[in-house]
Amino acid sequence: MISRALLLAGAAYVVLSATPALAETATDSVTDSVDEQQKTSVGTGASDRSDEILVTARRRQETAQEVPLAISVIGGEHIDNTGSFNVGRLQQLTPTLQFYSSNPRNTAVNIRGIGVPFGLTSDGFEQGVGIYVDDVYNSRVASATFDFLDVAQIEVLRGPQGTLYGKNTTAGAINITTNQPTFDFEGKAEVSIGNLNFKQAKAAVSGPLSETVAARLAVSSTSRRGTIYNAVTDKWIQSQDNLGLRGQLLWKPTENLSVTLAGDYSRQDAECCGSVFVKVGKTERAANRQFWALAAAQGYTPISTNPYDRVTDLDASLNAGNKIGGASLKVKWDVGPGTLTSVTAWRFWDWKPENDRDYTGLPIVTKSQNPSQQDQYTQELRYNYSSKNIDFVIGAFAFHQRIDTQGTESHGAASSRWNLSGALASDKSVLDGLTARNTQWLKSTSVALYGQLSWKVTDKFTIQPGLRLNYDKKKGFYQREVFDGQGNPVLFKDPVTGRPLTDPVLDARVIAQRGIFAPQVSSPSFSDWNLSYDLTLSYEVVPNVLAYATYAKTFKTGGINQNGLPADSAGNPILAAGSIKPETVNHYEVGIKAQFLDRKATLNLSAFRTDIKNYQATVNNGQFGVLRGYLANAGAVRTQGIEADFSFRPSERFNIYANGAYTDATYRKFVDAPCPPERSGGSASPQNCDISGSRLPGVSKYSLSFGAEGNVPVNLLGQDGQVYLGYDGNYRSNFSSNPTPSQYTWIKGYSLSNFRVGFRTESGFDIYAWVRNAFKENYMEQLIVGSGNTGLIVGLPGDPRTWGATIKTRF
């Protein structure tokens, strides 16, 4: 029972080229955190300068500039200084990383626009961005929403990583390294306070228990008042109430053997998650079935039509209870010419949500909750070898996961008027109390063999091929039972006579109820083998300038529709939709990594194209509960772009960085996509729309992150140190917030600015004041189309301006 929160934090971030300005503070801690047995000789053109950035992206320690792939490195101190305390905040530092979350379960992490389909989350498919914490893989992005705890550094790798990491990932990987136990006593503590009743405390202590055993313990607690006021409950929602714990034991009986046992637990108990009214757009529904007409018929007016008033009137219970944890056992053994590593892990995730799925103050949907429990087991065994001309890693990986979900969804007294027409609309009893009870489980198994070779043909030219053989099997079960307000089952056939309940007069109530919640049982399954491979060529053009080119042929495994299947007119599930095909990925990339001005300046450039056939997309029919969303294959998707990272440190007194990306991510062919709300809801509205050529959701064409820090030496209160001023900013151009682009769901571009000013000493004392979103930018993180095609658009506003102070010390 060890490392489950560790898993989450490590695999969710794969982004851009190395960014030394961000990682400058990480080198020393990472050097301590990486096992001595992973270290190899420094390659040509590298240096032993103390500000060199060390990474383990290729399962061995080397400098970031030696690695022929696009990688961003963010040091633990920079993460703390910028308030990037969880995965969601990292996208402000890494331009091609996208993070979307309406609640912890409905969370997505993409790199370069790909990874997982945009929309409601399903357990039946894989993520394309791997999240690793201390070598432990986390299978669900939703379980990676905990606070970072005692992190040494984060490496975001962009592009396919299946020949080097345990689980196959087609978009990238986020490799999170935490600080490890030490045989010298050390500790650190940090306290922050701010507006919105923000309070955060972190502490870690490490030291020897004997000559061969060392331990490390870390704890973190975060609380903050919510940013949206719910006038119905008189509570602030979107709050934070997080607790994280991690303990590690290191046994090192010899210099050649180390055994690390780790355990972690994270709890989130926030008043969350809700939305605010944004606007209403016209759909193809009849005029009396549009949002404003329906609202007027029930005397309802949203409490505010200005989303930045941050006021809502949601009347259903809200909850986002989240418990994450686990254990891992890592054994590293230097067997002479190489290192053998075994990582055994178990992780759990318990999710207890409550939502308001009608997004209004009316009792339409009175209950929406799908608590879920996950158990995950992984075993990875790999061998690393390094010599003058040959480096390689070979490995085997096994994964098994079980997820159980129990759902309850109920409608209330306002539902009939809102969802039905004619005489039934005036009869509250038709839908009042209508309840669906969902039971589902998923068993997922994966095994793989993988390897990557690095052959230094000459001192300057290196060939790096990789190979992966992968097997995946998924088996699921889904059952939805539906009951009316009197507790009677809602069926497709009369249980006594067997007669289909389709007569429009006798069974009108039942037909209407089935239009909201349709009973169903399905048992989808999928299994398949696939072979992935890649080839990278790199050449040192001149000292400190490395050029590389990569081709990768890889696959994202197929999946199953775990939340129910589309059905025919008789209510029979369409079994052909039970599984989705694997994605086939062809990836091309070229790049150059350069240092100049005595390596005080770094410039990394990369250009990429990724073509995907049978892209796994979310399809949504817009209804409340019949089938809100399921997975299908789009014909083809392409993402391509250019990325640049620049950093400059002319002296110890000043450093500056700027990272940018242009990303062109589009559906190349998607002829049967769900239609946008403006083309939905009418009797003559198309069932599907051709959105070929449209931009993928969530992707900004232009994204930037930039910042600088300067300091001057001073003696303050008898202590020698530095007074410093730091700035970090980011910009995103507009992006679509709907699986199918809609004129109603484009989020305009925005820019955020964060400042900090403080005093620090060489002994580890640091005190500073900070302000985030300093210029009070009003922006939306996500827009959501309300169910039922009424034209309602709700949103999740980003954080307002926040400010506070932090004091921390090392000892």
Position 27 scores a pLDDT of 35
Distance CA(47)–CA(213), nearest Å, equals: 33
E strand spans, 128-185: 129-133, 136-138, 151-158, 172-178
Residue 179 DSSP SS3: coil
Q: How many residues does the chain have?
A: 811
Q: CA-to-CA distance for 391 and 176, rounded, in angstroms?
A: 23
DSSP letter string, 460-489: SEEEEEEEEEEEEEEEEEEEEEEE-TTSPB
Other CB atoms closer than 10 Å to residue 376's CB: what's the count?
24
DSSP state of 5: H
Rounded CA gap, 394 and 470, in Å?
14
For residue 417, what is the DSSP state? Answer: H
Cis amide prior to 675 (ω within 30 degrees): no
The stretches in the chain having pLDDT less than 50 are: 1-50, 626-627
At 184, phi and psi to the nearest 5? -110, 135
Q: What are the residues whose beta carbons fall under 8 Å from the beta carbon of 380, sequence distance 6 or more? A: 135, 137, 166, 341, 342, 343, 395, 396, 397, 398
What's the number of domains the chain is made of? Answer: 1
- How far apart are the C-alpha atoms of 62 and 456, rounded to whole Å? 15
The predicted-structure confidence for 684-742, as pLDDT tens digits, reads as follows 889 889 999 999 999 999 999 999 999 999 998 888 999 999 999 999 999 999 989 99
Give the domain CATH number at 465: 2.40.170.20
CB 78 within 8 A of CB 154: no
Burial 529-541 (b: 16+ CB within 10 A, else e): ebebbbebbbebe
- How high is the pLDDT of residue 798? 95
Q: What tokens appear for 537 in the block?
A: 């060529």
Give how far Cα 109 sits from Cα of 73, 104, 265, 705, Å. Answer: 17, 12, 22, 18
Q: How much is the pLDDT for 489? A: 93
If we measure between CA atoms, which residue out of 755, 707, 723 comes closest to residue 653?
A: 723
Give residue 153's identity as a one-letter amino acid code.
Q
Count H helices and E strands in the chain, helices first: 8, 43
> Which tokens sit at 401?
């996961």
Give the integer Cα–Cα distance in Å for 136 and 246. Answer: 14
Task: Give the C-alpha separation, 358 to 353, whole Å.
Answer: 15
The single residue listed with the structure tokens 């098994």 is 400
The boundaries of the domain holding residue 550 are: 4-810
pLDDT of amino acid 40: 29
pTM above 0.95, yes or no: no
